[in-house]
Amino acid sequence: MKFNKVLKNLSTYEAGKPIELVVREYGIDPKEVVKLASNENPYGTSPKVVKKISSLAKNMYLYPDDSMFELKEALANKFQLDSKNVIIGSGSDQILEFCIHAKCKTGSNVLMAKTTFAMYEIYAKQVGAKIIKTKSSQHNLKEFSKLYKKHGADVIFLCIPNNPLGECLDKKDVYKFLESIDKNTLIVVDGAYQEYASFKDESKKICPKDLINTFPNAVYLGTFSKAYALGGMRVGYGFAQEKIISTFYKIRAPFNITTLSLAAAIEALKDEDFVQDCIAKNFEEMKRYEDYANQKGFEYIPSYTNFITIRFEENLVSKVVAQKLLEKGMIIRDLTGYGMNAIRITIGTNEQNTKLFTLLDEVLEELK
Ligand SMILES: *Cc1c(COP(=O)(O)O)cnc(C)c1O
């Protein structure tokens, strides 16, 4: 069968490997497997959220509230916006897709950093858009400006901070760049890790309200999958001026979030102390990774997120290191697919990180 030809050279997104796979393939007890591969919150779901969704199991025969009134209100209140400025997606991933579908067709230009969230490129290619990337791996706004002047763009993706590298642009530099962008270009600010960045350094904080009021062509994306510990629930949100949001609604399928996901997100927003506590621990534990890397002479990228990217010299192959760790029940992310000899590790709990250091020591010894 012939399919849409844009799909021919499109690669499939490779998600972090699930714990189930390691249990199946290497026969490791699931309790022994540690997953530090998908930037989930390692401290687990807030007990208040667990209690809430458990109580809802009996209501599953009903469709969810498609207006998502309560969650939109809660988000609008938290960020001092109006519900009209909010759209909910099945993960912020789905809203990335809305952004592309609202602006792009065959031949459209989409501008992004060389090494950034893989789904930007995948969604853009699905509609036949052309990808324009900077030469630098990390976000370099001078290069973004140059490329924008040369090619223009229908959509610009800025991942602040950036996954999978962890670096973070300064708010003032972002604003300066955005001032030079035509109002017909959709600017997507992906704030999946903004909770972490703004905790570490106030100058990185992007205020969604200020962003969308200053730039009518900007969309701010947030997710419940990372700091809010709801990766399994698939809830993300987009903020923008009403005109953009109402256009996204034309693309959205009804009931795109489940009843449980809605309830979990609403409850998670009420437990801000839990989230802040997790973020504080994250940066405490991050120091241990920096110390470890320094001690081994590995280069790492200073991170504003809940993960850290460590590069290897030629004497170590990241793919081999990741595979050997996997066989010992430790799941991390190899970045070979991004053209880097590097690994990305989600910062785990104190105990998980200790285990990672022990296992990585073993692997390094075996590869000597
Ligand atoms: C995790 C992540 C997302 C989206 O995650 P969802 O689970 O779909 O909400 C978006 N952007 C970046 C950069 C991410 O790391």
Write out pLDDT tens, residues 28-63: 999 999 999 999 999 999 899 999 999 999 999 999
Ligand 1 contacts CB of residue 225 (under 6 A): yes
Minimal-distance CA residue to ligand 1 atom 9: 91
What percentage of the chain reaches a pLDDT higher than 70?
Answer: 100
286 CA distance to ligand 1 middle (Å): 20
Cα dihedral 167, 170, 176, 180, rounded to 10, equals: 20
User: Mean pLDDT across the stretch 345-351?
Assistant: 98
How many CB atoms are located within 10 Å of the residue 143 CB? Answer: 16
Minimal-distance CA residue to ligand 1 atom 8: 91
Quote the pLDDT of residue 9: 84
Q: Is the peptide bond before 302 cis (omega within 30 degrees of 0)?
A: no
Minimal-distance CA residue to ligand 1 atom 15: 163
pLDDT band of 12, cuts 50, 70, 90? confident
Q: pTM for the whole thing?
A: 0.96
| Rounded Cα–Cα distance for residues 189 and 185 (Å) | 13
78 CA distance to ligand 1 middle (Å): 20
Alpha helices, DSSP H only, in 170-258?
Answer: 171-179, 194-200, 208-214, 242-251
User: Mean pLDDT across the stretch 257-272?
Assistant: 96
Ligand 1 contacts CB of residue 159 (under 6 A): yes
Which atom from ligand 1 is nearest to the alpha carbon of 231? 7
Minimal-distance CA residue to ligand 1 atom 6: 91
Write out pLDDT tens, residues 160-219: 999 999 999 999 999 999 999 999 999 999 999 999 999 999 999 999 999 999 999 999
223 CA distance to ligand 1 middle (Å): 6
| Coil, helix or strand at residue 331 | strand
Average pLDDT, whole number, for the chain? 96
Say if strands 130-133 and 86-89 run parallel, antiparallel, or are unpaired.
unpaired
Quote the pLDDT of residue 13: 85
| Rounded Cα–Cα distance for residues 52 and 56 (Å) | 7
Which atom from ligand 1 is nearest to the alpha carbon of 226? 1
